[in-house]
Amino acid sequence: MKKTVIPIGPYHPLQEEAGFFQLHVEGERVLDIDVEVGYNHRGIEKIAESRTYDQVPFLVERICGICSTSHPFAYVQAVEEIAGAEVPERALYIRTIIAELERLHSHLLWVGLAGHFLGYNTVFMWAWRYREPVLDIMEEVTGNRQNYAMMKVGGVRRDILDEDFVKIRKMVEDLGPVLDMFTGAVLDDPVIHARTKGVGVLTPEDARMYGAVGPTARASGVPIDVRRDDPYAAYDRVQWNVVTWQSGDVFGKAAVRLLEMRESVKIILQCLDQMKPGSIDANVKEIPPGEGIGHVEAPRGETFHYVRSDGSNRPIRHKVRAPSYTNVPTFKATCIGQTISDVTIILAAVDPCYSCTERMAVIEGASRKSSLSGYDLVSLSQERGREILSTLAGRVAQKELERKLAEGYRRIGERAC
Amino acid sequence: MKGREEIIAKIKDSLGKKALSVFEAKPNRLYVSIGPENITGAVKLLFEELLGRYVILTGIDTPAGIEVLYHFSFDGADLVVTLKVLLDKENPEAESITPIIKGAEWIEREIHELLGVEFSGHPNMKRLILAEDWPAGVYPLRRSFNGKAE
């Protein structure tokens, strides 16, 4: 059979790094995958060397628009390690709340887009509807829907006001039961089972070999979570569970993210209960020579920052490792042997970024003539979903899902009144 | 899962004289300096024997030479171990660890093009992040880099 190379990319500008994927296929089957990155290389590590310690959080916040608090969070912890700073308790709680709100909106965004790529727009619409109140609260509390500018060395920049407490609590309490219902509806859905179970399996051995982190690793039964393993902020003062799944497939990755959101709700509510009035900034002035490591559990996995200081007002080296840097290479293990129509959702399951899948094109052999556009590839995946949906069982499943989701919506509405 | 003290003791014990210096910055942050010739042995010890999780490598241009740090996390024991190697500035060369840890492929390519470190035995030393027309021999993360190709 004729071998074909399918290039995907190169641009998906929402991600930390834009990527170019080349799928080597024979018929429908993927034989190999090449990943090229570097299209969005902005030299942030180099720029950080010319910024003061207080300027760097604003810089690294812009590495990623979706998990924009995770990078400054890891960075300030690395610098606090060098300075030996004691961060006030209230600031630790505020950091935790912001980080968990971010996880909620990031995971909801993922669930919605995953639904879209499967041709299941019901899921897409509902997930994004539930995400909106989270962003509204972010705007209320920090002033921004993204790039919150909350983290600073020694504490946080803004306090959470008493009146915002009420708003956060109400939003999170309303969201909790809806998430339960949504999670149940999605995880019980036969159409989603058909499209994601056994698809793109990452074994625990491969997860370790590639250094996979976050939901990508936890879905393969690797129980790692920085929040528990190297507790920072207020994570050791609240009760919550690390969610793992054993299957390693796309379904497992979805399940981990969905169930994890419930844990985030638990964490936020406990933080609100436990927080006491107090200072939010340790006023760190001098950074002595030394080196420090800060790592936090971002929505996509461990974000790792290494900072070295020579005692001046700027870091002499600042290394950033975003979770996708180790998660994206796992495609080599998960895509091979799968069909083209499943590749969209396998790539999406790692949650690298979605615009990549919009940029796919099928190109025939050496002529490099484009035969399928990115849009066609997403359509292929959606068509497959629709095929299942068009069967009687599929129609029943969709009706059932819509009924459950509408019920959850009514419940939100009632509580809001 | 081994405890933190046990892991630290095992690392010190196994590396013995190969560890040029051992520094415990905090109870859960260990830095061990080793010679470039011992890097694969030390990585095998941390990754294969003690089952540490590969995190990333960091390359740094220092006045003494190019430093490469190998970060490993022992998640159950709350410990991050960093191996440090100092490479000759004129001719920085180290043995690749990609044959041991597949996940290290990208970062070795990155350090190669940003700092000019040669990783011998690397299976796929293609350009990773710099543009295709970036001039050879110009390393942007070195201190001497002035923003221009010479």
What CATH code is carried by the domain that includes residue A141? 1.10.645.10
- What pLDDT sits at residue B1? 58
Identify the residue whose tokens are 């609100």: A272
- What pLDDT sits at residue A247? 94
What's at A98, amino acid-wise? Answer: I
Contact assignment for A293 to B128 by CB distance below 8 Å = no
**Of A61-65, A68-72, A364-368, B44-48, which range is least confident?**
A364-368
Alpha carbon of residue A301 to chain centroid: 7
- What pLDDT sits at residue A373? 58
Half-sphere exposure of A363 (CA within 13 A, CB side): 16
What is the value of ipTM here, to two decimals? Answer: 0.95
Q: Whole-angstrom Cα distance, residue A95 to residue A99?
A: 6
What does the block give as tokens for A240? 């919550």
Residue A311 has pLDDT above 70, yes or no: yes
Minimal Cα distance from A304: which residue of B?
Answer: B55
Report yes or no on whether pTM surpasses 0.95.
Answer: no
Q: Whole-angstrom Cα distance, residue A174 to residue A134?
A: 11
Confidence of residue A406 (pLDDT cuts 50, 70, 90): confident
For residues A390 and A305, which has the higher predicted lDDT (pLDDT)?
A305
Contact assignment for A38 to B131 by CB distance below 8 Å = yes
A295 touches chain B (CB under 8 A): yes
A10 touches chain B (CB under 8 A): no
Give me the residues paired with residue B34 across strands: B19, B85
Cα–Cα separations (whole angstroms), residue A325 to A72, A328, A331:
17, 6, 12
Residue A356 has pLDDT above 50, yes or no: no
Q: Which chain B residues are Cβ-neighbours of A288 within 8 angstroms?
A: none
Tell me the per-residue pLDDT of B39-88, one tens digit each, with 9 for 90 and over.
999 999 999 999 999 999 999 999 999 999 999 999 999 999 999 999 99
Tell which residue, A272, A415, A324, has the closest CA to residue A106: A324
Q: Cis peptide leading into B140, omega within 30 of 0?
A: no
Identify the residue whose tokens are 């994004």: A128
In this structure, whether the domain defined by B4-92 belongs to CATH 3.30.460.80 is answered with yes
Cα–Cα separations (whole angstroms), residue A230 to A206, A226, A326, B75:
23, 5, 19, 7
Contact assignment for B25 to A45 by CB distance below 8 Å = no
Residue A407 has pLDDT above 80, yes or no: no
For residues A321 and A373, which has the higher predicted lDDT (pLDDT)?
A321
* Nearest CA distance, B131 vs chain A (angstrom): 7
Contact assignment for A230 to B29 by CB distance below 8 Å = no
Query: Which SS3 state, helix, strand or coil, does residue B84 take?
Result: strand
Q: Which chain A residues are Cβ-neighbours of B140 within 8 angstroms?
A: 43, 46
Helix crossing, A340-349 with A250-274: angle to 10°?
A: 20
- What pLDDT sits at residue A366? 41
* Nearest CA distance, A162 vs chain B (angstrom): 35
A290 touches chain B (CB under 8 A): yes
What value does the mean pLDDT take over residues A224-250?
Answer: 95
Could you list the beta-strand ranges (E) of A261-361: 290-298, 301-309, 315-321
Q: What is the mean pLDDT of chain A?
A: 86
What value does the mean pLDDT take over residues A288-302?
Answer: 95
Compute, in degrees rounded to 10, the torsion defined by CA atoms A155, A157, A161, A164: -100
Which of B31, B106, B134 would best serve as a mutation to test chain A binding (most A beta carbons within 10 A)? B106
- What pLDDT sits at residue A212? 95
Q: Which chain A residues are Cβ-neighbours of B73 within 8 angstroms?
A: 229-230, 295, 302
- What pLDDT sits at residue A362? 40
Residue A413 has pLDDT above 70, yes or no: no
A349 close to A192: Cβ distance less than 8 angstroms: no
Interface of B with A (CB under 8 A): 25-26, 28-29, 31, 53-56, 58, 60, 69, 71, 73, 75-76, 78, 80, 82, 101-103, 105-107, 127-131, 140-141
A224 close to A208: Cβ distance less than 8 angstroms: no
Identify the residue whose tokens are 């029943």: A396
Full 3-state SS string of A90-150: HHHHHHHHHHHHHHHHHHHHHHHHHHHHCCCHHHHHHHHHHHHHHHHHHHHHHCCCCCCCC
Task: Label the pairing between strands A315-321 and A362-364.
Answer: unpaired
* Nearest CA distance, A327 vs chain B (angstrom): 9
- What pLDDT sits at residue A408? 64
* Nearest CA distance, A416 vs chain B (angstrom): 42
Residue A225 has pLDDT above 80, yes or no: yes
Tell which residue, A85, A84, A55, has the closest CA to residue A72: A55
Cα–Cα separations (whole angstroms), residue A387 to A250, A379, A391:
19, 12, 7
**Of A123-132, A263-272, A300-309, B11-20, which range is least confident?**
A123-132
What does the block give as tokens for A406? 């509408």
A291 touches chain B (CB under 8 A): yes
What's at A128, amino acid-wise? Answer: W
Domain coverage including residue A51:
3-416
Cα–Cα separations (whole angstroms), residue B137 to A41, A47, B108, B116:
19, 21, 16, 7
Cβ neighbours of residue A211 closer than 8 Å, sequence gap 6 or more: A326, B53, B54, B55, B56, B101, B103
- What pLDDT sits at residue A18? 63
Residues in chain B: 150
Q: Whole-angstrom Cα distance, residue A311 to residue A290?
A: 8
- What pLDDT sits at residue A359? 32
- What pLDDT sits at residue A121? 85
Q: Whole-angstrom Cα distance, residue A204 to residue A246?
A: 9
For residues B133 and B55, which has the higher predicted lDDT (pLDDT)?
B55
Contact assignment for B129 to A38 by CB distance below 8 Å = yes
Contact assignment for A304 to B71 by CB distance below 8 Å = yes
Number of structural domains found in chain A: 1
Q: Which chain B residues are Cβ-neighbours of A321 within 8 angstroms?
A: 55-56
Tell me the per-residue pLDDT of A145-156, one tens digit each, with 9 for 90 and over.
989 999 999 999
Q: Which chain B residues are Cβ-neighbours of A230 within 8 angstroms?
A: 28, 73, 75, 78, 80
Residue A367 has pLDDT above 60, yes or no: no
Q: Whole-angstrom Cα distance, residue A61 to residue A49?
A: 15
Q: What percent of chain A has pLDDT over 70?
A: 89
Helix crossing, A392-416 with A121-142: angle to 10°?
A: 20
Cβ neighbours of residue A17 closer than 8 Å, sequence gap 6 or more: A37, A38, A39, A40, A41, A322, A324, A325, A328, B129
